[in-house]
Each structure stands twice: as structure tokens, then as C-alpha cells.
């Protein structure tokens, strides 16, 4: 039971942790369809979009355009940094 509570805690942390304001990756050559999230979104929203998108990354919109991208590693790193 303790392991389940810990995993629930991690999911909840994803839901309340926002996408970082800096330190993300530059936008790759944009072709085809891909998922995006607004910069004010949670890491949970970013993870969901990444998993649904099929590209291995999710675009992060700032000021109405895709300014940066997040990979799974970025979501993990951002969550760990927020917990520190």
C-alpha cells in the first residue's frame, strides 16, 4: 500500500508543478502535426500531450507561438528540481 501512495503522490506533483519558465529545448524543424501546451500548463498536461502526440516531444506555447519543446527527460528533470 505504501508504494501506491508514493506513486499517487508523484502523479499529484505532476498536476501541481508548472512548466519551467526557462531551460527547455529549442524548437526542432516543425513538420506535420504535433501536440502543444501553453507555458502556464502543468507538467501533467505536458506529459499527457507528449504521450498522445507520438513525436516524443511536446511544443510549449509562449506568446501565441511554439517557443520551446519538452521531452520526457525535461518533464522528469523539472519535477525533480521542483521537489528539491
Pairing type for strands 57-62 and 65-71 reads: antiparallel
Quote the pLDDT of residue 11: 83
pLDDT tens for each residue of 16-32: 999 999 889 888 777 78
Instruction: Round to whole Å and give the CA distance between 6 and 15.
Output: 15
Range of the domain at 34: 2-83
pTM of the model: 0.85
Quote the pLDDT of residue 3: 56
* CATH number of the domain to which 38 belongs: 3.90.1280.20
Instruction: Round to whole Å and give the CA distance between 82 and 80.
Output: 5
Quote the pLDDT of residue 30: 75
Total domains present in the chain:
1
Of residues 9 and 52, which shows the higher confidence score? 52
> Does the pLDDT value for residue 50 go beyond 90?
yes
Instruction: Round to whole Å and give the CA distance between 35 and 60.
Output: 9
Report angle CA 15, 21, 24 to the nearest 5 degrees.
95
Amino acid at each position: 500500500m505504501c508504494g501506491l501512495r508514493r506513486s499517487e503522490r508523484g502523479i499529484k506533483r505532476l498536476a501541481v508543478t508548472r512548466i519551467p519558465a526557462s531551460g527547455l529545448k529549442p524548437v526542432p524543424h516543425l513538420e506535420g502535426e504535433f501536440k502543444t501546451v501553453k507555458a502556464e500548463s502543468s507538467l501533467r498536461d505536458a506529459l499527457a500531450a507528449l504521450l498522445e502526440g507520438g513525436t516524443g516531444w511536446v511544443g510549449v506555447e509562449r506568446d501565441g507561438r511554439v517557443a520551446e519543446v519538452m521531452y520526457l527527460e525535461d518533464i522528469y528533470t523539472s519535477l525533480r528540481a521542483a521537489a528539491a
